[in-house]
Homo-oligomer: A and B are copies of this chain.
Amino acid sequence: MAKIRIKKNTTKKEVIIEKAAKLFREKGFGAASMRDLAEVVGVEAASLYNHIQSKSEILQAICFKVANEFISHLEAVERSNDSTLKKMEIIIRFHIKMMLEQYEYVYISDHEWRHLPEPYLSNFLNQRRSYRKRLSDIIEQGIAKNEMKNIEPYVAVLTILSAISGIESWQRSRKTTSAETLEASMVKYLIEGLKK
C-alpha cells in the first residue's frame, strides 16, 4: 500500500518534517514540544506517531539530509579539474545557496545536532570532521600550488564555514541587504582573503 500523498509527491511524513524544521529553528529542538508540532501540522500529538517513530527521528532526518547534500556536492567538486581557488569558490557559493534556500534545515543541522542520540551523534560528528578535513586538503593544495596565501588550512576552513553559517542572522533580519549583494560581498571577502 503506497504512502498517502497530501499534495504532489509529498507524504505526510515529509510535511511533518518540514513543519518541524521551522519549529525547531524558531524555538530550539529542546523547547519545541510534540504538542507544538502537532498544532502547526493540524492534528493531535498522538497522531504524529502514525508517521514518525520519535521526536529525535525527525532531527536525524534533517541533520543527515543536509550532511548528505554537502558531501555529495563536495565529491562532485573534488572530481572536477578546476583550480583549487575555483573549487573553493564553488563550494562557498553552494554553502551560501543552501543557507539561502534551505535555511531551516541547514540551521538545525548547524545548531541542533548536539541533541542527536547515539550512535547518530558520533556518526554525524565523524562525517562533519571528515568533510572539513577534505576542505582543508583543498586549501593545502592551493597553498602548495602557490594559488593561495599561506594560511593555516584548518583555520581558513573554520573561518569560511562559520562566516557562511552567520547568514542565519541575515535571514532573521529585516533584509535591507539583498540576497545577491550578500552572496557577492561574502564571496568577495572570503575569496580575496584566500588569494595569493
Give residues in A with beta carbon < 8 Å to B. 27-28, 30-31, 111, 114-115, 149, 151-152, 154-156, 158-167, 169-170, 176-177, 181-182, 185-186, 188-190, 192-194
Please measure, in the bound complex, the distance between the C-alpha atom of A117 and the C-alpha atom of B182, giving whole angstroms. Answer: 31
The reply to whether A151 and B188 form a contact with Cβ atoms under 8 Å apart is: yes
A189 contact from B155, B164, B169, B186, Cβ within 8 A: B155
CA distance in complex: A1, B51 (Å): 60
CA distance A161 to B160 in the complex (A): 12
Residues in chain B near residue A158, CB distance under 8 A: 163, 166-167, 169-170, 186
Report B-chain residues with C-beta under 8 Å of the C-beta of A190: 159, 193
Q: How far is the CB of A116 from chain B (nearest CB, A)?
A: 12
User: Do A185 and B152 form a contact, CB below 8 Å, given A166-B158, A190-B159?
Assistant: yes
State the copy count for this chain: 2
Q: Is the CB of B155 within 8 A of A161?
A: no
Assembly CA distance A153 to B31 (angstroms): 35
Complex CA distance for A30 and B192, rounded to whole angstroms: 40
Q: Which residues of B contact A169 (CB under 8 A)?
A: 158, 162
Across the interface, which residues of B come within 8 angstroms of A186, CB to CB? 155, 158-159
- Nearest neighbor of A125 in chain B, beta-carbon distance: B172
Task: Give the distance in Å from the alpha carbon of A87 to the alpha carbon of B20 in the complex.
Answer: 43
The CA of A165 and the CA of B111, in the complex, are separated in Å by: 13
B residues in contact with A170, CB < 8 Å: 158
Nearest opposing residue in chain B for A111, CB measure: B111
Q: Give the CA-CA distance A158 to B163 in the complex, in Å.
A: 7
User: Given the complex of chains A and B, what is the CA–CA distance between A114 and B163 in angstroms?
Assistant: 20
Which single member of B28, B185, B192 contacts A114 (CB below 8 Å)? B28
Query: Is B162's CB under 8 angstroms from A165's CB?
Result: yes
